[in-house]
Structure 1
Amino acid sequence: MTNDYLKKFANSRREFVRQTSLLAGGLIAAPLLSKANYFSGADDAIKVVLIGCGGRGTGAAMQALSTTQNVKLVAMADAFQDNVEKCYASLTKESTSTSSRAPKNVKSKVDVPAERRFFGFDAYMKAIPLADVVILATPPGFRPIHFEEAIKQNKHVFMEKPVATDPAGIQKVLATAALAKQRKLNVVVGLQRHYQNSYRELFKRKDQIGDISSAQAWWNNDGVWVRPRKPGQTEMEYQMRNWYYFNWLCGDHINEQHIHNLDVINWFKESYPVSAQGMGGRQVRKGKDHGEIFDHHYVEFTYADGSVLNSQCRHIPGTMSKVDELLIGTKGKIQCGAANIVDHKGKVLYQFDKKTENQPYQAEHDELFAAIAKGEYKFADAENGARSTMTSILGRMATYSGQVVQWDKAINSGLDIHPKVYSFDAPPPVVPNEDGYYTVAIPGKTTYA
């Protein structure tokens, strides 16, 4: 990177920080930025902190540091110290690759000595003040409080999906999203299809299929990891380690994974469902290590115009695997996986050239950091992220209860499934019975007041 470029970058970025500080209420952001500059020793770098140092957090940090901008990782935070150290080791690992985006290129952008590697439930509070940009990649149950703190402290944000696990969390994210807009803070949510070339091109041409009358979405595969209980763990630590299987942390796999497909349909419909009904349960994945979540869901979402989305997600080994979306209109259909548009007789109206496909996980960071470097306010993904997350939660409420669940009633229910206290010695919201099993929703008996 040339000195001329750095000077140009610094001038535009300083002006952006100055304007953001004024919008946020004057002398709030500037001292924090000054502190971050002091710690990193790189006045012109965009300071990044990582909150959540598991696999996805490590990947997100790698992608942020692989952009072409002058970016520096200056702090890391996680509930667990071993996660922080493993992530740090991955980001600073030497590589013999010649790729410009190999880990060896990333290593030079990591400036996180031991005193800025924080752990514990309050670690995020120590890391966020050091940032210009905060990456939020903890289990999604923590997203609302971490997002709120980042915006409160006037930081730009990249946050992974989903952005909450219950309606109370959704309301918090929506309120924070409004504040982020007011302060002109860029927010990107990791619903990466919005940053994928093929999906963008299909969206541009969606009018070719006429009015969308129905849709289908799938996330069917074998499932994910299980982390068995270890001797000496408190119940809170066990659930935090095995977070995928507890709703307060994950929201069930309809929320953690299937949100991608549901979000695509919402995006192309340019609206969100008004109700949902469906079925689901635990047929295969029902051991003590599988917490309280289902292994399959089938949901019928209805939109205000009467159109219906039939969605299915399943975690059962040996069954059909499919992750895709299909939108059917009055004139044809969009096949997202095939990246084409066809009429009802099968004639191809548009075919995306897959040779021009990009890496959307990288693109979302490239575009975010480019906007910040240029002093642009360009991204406000949080509201859509919250509403697509609410779509997933609505589906979970429908399958758990076996009832028709209305969007307005659900989102305004105040349902909060989180602990009252975040501590490894505190009781989590659900605990196992004397046989080691957790209470699981029973359709027809589980209710939502």
Structure 2
Amino acid sequence: MDNFKRREFIKTGSALAGAAVLASTPISSVFAGGTDVIKIALIGCGGRGTGAAFDAFASGQNIKLVAMADAFQDNLESTFNTLKEKFGDRIDVPDSRKYVGFDGYKSAIRDADVVLLTTPPGFRPLHFEEAVKAGKHIFMEKPVAVDIPGIRKVLQAAAEAKTKKLNVVVGLQRRYQTNYREAIKRIQDGAIGDVHAGQVYWNSGGVWVRPRKPAQTEMEYQMRNWYYFNWLCGDHIVEQHVHNIDIANWVKGKYPVSIQGTGSRAHRTDKEYGEIYDNFAVELTYDDGTVVYSQCRHFEGISNRVDETFQATKGRVYLSAGNQAILWDSKGNEIYRHDPKGNPNAYQQEHKELFDAIAKNEYKFADADYGAYSTLTGIIGRLACYTGKVIKWDDALKSEVDLSPAAYSWDAMPKIVPNQNGEYPVAVPGMNTAFYI
């Protein structure tokens, strides 16, 4: 485990402060077939997968979708029809390259130059490992894993991707958003001094629920409702709040040494919400004594908040996904305000920069490292709240708790199943902690 000690995470991760952080090193090959067409495969055909495909086509490069894979036939066909209607002949996916089932990703990856990995995050380590092994450039959505064994798998594949000079972009799109780039560059240049405290938030009303149908197996039900099961989602502190946690790590240029917090199921308590919490409040403590307070919740009818603030020795900063960025000095004087006019769409920008690099035969992106570290921060936050313990970064890295099922098939059983009333076990701090770490 020495290779995964915190100092190694910090040494590697702190250098990855934004996009295009690597030298523009030529890559050995670009497109299959010797043409200027970049062939892409879409692995995961839900809403985010459809959005990622739209963003890829907005890159301005000569892209063609040649393969698709999803566990569900209806998801795949729905996304195919949407894309075909919009992009016409640029969607070249005959039935023979529509792969349905748990293993379809392997075939789809082989057909393409670039793969878009947009399934529920529990599958990300497997799919990323396969894409790297096949020598493909990669866009993968956040988070990149749901448990610590998955994080280790991603880091190992990331190291191999570097040796192969494979561009890897992760969907933490704030890293590609102009206001964040401009403001954090100023912070790291010393505009407000040393950051010593911060607060990051994702407070909203929650997401969809898909009712159970009589003919569904337990595996299908959980797959259809993947957001509410940790082996697929990681809980919303990992799946959603990772964006804000990643900003804390980016601003600090390092990762926490310990994490503590509290959380519960206060409002979304029905069995349809699976096993996840609806609120988390976490403290991220860094090695210089900085404490960043992290809060996320899924409560209906509340005041929503999705943003980040930090205090420093010479001032403070406010950031938000709505293209806001303001820096003040220690006297409250505004020293920088980002102008949001004309800023590119960050979701599209991450694809534009990825495909620009590929088209130019350049190796520029290794996002998997900071994607893994910030995902790990969220996972440790979940474990701290589930167990009620202060968890040190180095100790967490020893975890062998693997949330994935023993087999991937429709008649296989996930590790978490409902009782006779259809209710799923939920973490109770201090009582049932052995399962979690």
TM-score, reference length from structure 2 = 0.91
1:389 corresponds to 2:375: yes
CA distances 1:41-63 after superposition (whole Å, capped 9, x unpaired):
xx320110000000000000111
Instruction: Please give the alpha-carbon distance, in whole angstroms, between the structure 1 residues aligned to 2:342 and 2:316.
Output: 22
Amino acid at match of 2:400: G
Look up the match of 1:411: 397
Structure 1 residue aligned with 2:222? 239
For 1:393, give the aligned amino acid.
I
Q: Which has the higher contact order (CA 8 A, sep 6+)?
A: 2
Query: Which amino acid letter does the alignment assign opposite residue 353 of structure 2?
Result: E
Equivalent position SS for 2:81: helix
Q: What is the CA-CA distance between 1:154 and the residue it aligns to? A: 0.2
* 2:425 counterpart of 1:439: yes
CA deviations over 1:321-353 (Å, ceiling 9, x no partner): 000001110011110024110123321010111
1:170–1:411 Cα contact (<8 Å) kept:
no
Supply the distance in 1 between the matched residues of 2:238 and 2:262 (Cα, whole angstroms): 15
Out of 305, 310, 316, the position equivalent to 1:322 is 305
1:83-102 aligned at under 5 Å gives the runs 83-93=75-85
Counterpart-to-counterpart distance in 1, 2:372 and 2:111: 26
Counterpart residue number, 1:254: 237
Higher helix share: 1
Give the distance between the partners of 1:131 and 1:258, measured in 2 at CA.
Answer: 31
Letter in 1 for 2:150: G
1:388 maps to a residue whose letter is: S
Query: What is the Cα deviation at residue 16 of structure 1?
Result: 6.1
Q: How does 1:16-415 map to 2 (within 5 A)?
A: 19-20=28-29, 33-34=32-33, 43-93=35-85, 103=86, 106-206=87-187, 207-337=190-320, 338-415=324-401
Tell me if the contact between 2:125 and 2:151 (Cα under 8 Å) persists in the aligned partners.
yes
Computed over aligned residues only, the root mean square deviation of the Cα atoms, in angstroms, reads 1.4
Q: 1 CA distance for matches of 2:252 and 2:51?
A: 30
Q: How many Å apart are 1:303 and its aligned residue? A: 0.6
Query: For the Cα contact (< 8 Å) 2:29–2:361, is it kept in 1?
Result: no
Q: Distance in 2 between matches of 1:412 and 1:260?
A: 25
Stretches of structure 1 that go unaligned for 5 or more consecutive residues are 1-14, 22-29, 38-42, 94-102
SS in structure 1 at match of 2:52: helix
2:9 aligned partner:
none
Task: Measure, in 1, the Cα distance between the counterparts of 2:113 and 2:50.
Answer: 18
Look at both structures and tell me which one has the larger radius of gyration over its CA atoms.
Answer: 1
Partner Cα separation in structure 2 for residue 355 and residue 375 of structure 1: 31
Contact map agreement 1:65 1:73 (CA 8 A) in 2: no
The separation in 1 between residues aligned to 2:133 and 2:234, in whole angstroms, is 25
Q: Name the counterpart of 1:40.
A: none
- Rounded Cα–Cα distance in structure 1 between residues aligned with 2:88 and 2:327: 43
Q: Is contact 1:276–1:398 with CA below 8 Å preserved after alignment?
A: yes
Contact residue 326 and residue 333 of structure 1 kept, 8 A: yes
For structure 2, which runs of at least 5 residues remain unmatched after alignment?
Answer: 1-24
Residue 425 (str. 1) matches residue 406 (str. 2): no
Distance in 1, matches of 2:71 and 2:332, equals 52
Contact preservation (8 Å) 1:259, 1:389? yes
Whole-Å Cα distance in 1 between the matches of residues 264 and 88 of structure 2?
Answer: 45
The runs of at least 4 consecutive aligned structure 1 residues that moved more than 3 Å come to: none
Whether contact under 8 Å (2:230, 2:276) holds in the other structure is: yes
Give the partner amino acid of 2:223: M
> Matched residues in 1 for 2:330 and 2:382: separation?
33
1:283-319, CA deviations, whole angstroms, 9 ceiling, x for partnerless residues?
Answer: 1101111000000000011011110010000000011
CA distance in 2, matches of 1:377, 1:358: 22
Q: Give 3-state SS (helix, strand or coil) of 1:205's partner.
A: helix
Name the SS of the counterpart of 2:266 in structure 1. Answer: coil
Report the residue type matching 1:209 in the other structure.
I
Measured in 2, the distance between the counterparts of 1:345 and 1:317 equals 38
Q: Deviations over 1:198-253 (max 9, x none)?
A: 10100111021101101100000000000110110000000000000000000000
Determine if contact 1:220/1:314 at 8 Å carries over to the other structure. yes
Q: Secondary structure at the match of 1:263?
A: helix
Q: Distance in 1 between matches of 2:317 and 2:72?
A: 44
Distance in 2 separating the partners of 1:301 and 1:356: 35
CA–CA separation in structure 2 for the residues paired with 1:405 and 1:325: 23
Listed one character per residue, the Cα deviations across residues 84-111 of structure 1 (whole Å, up to 9, x for unaligned) are 0000011112xxxxxxxxx3xx333211
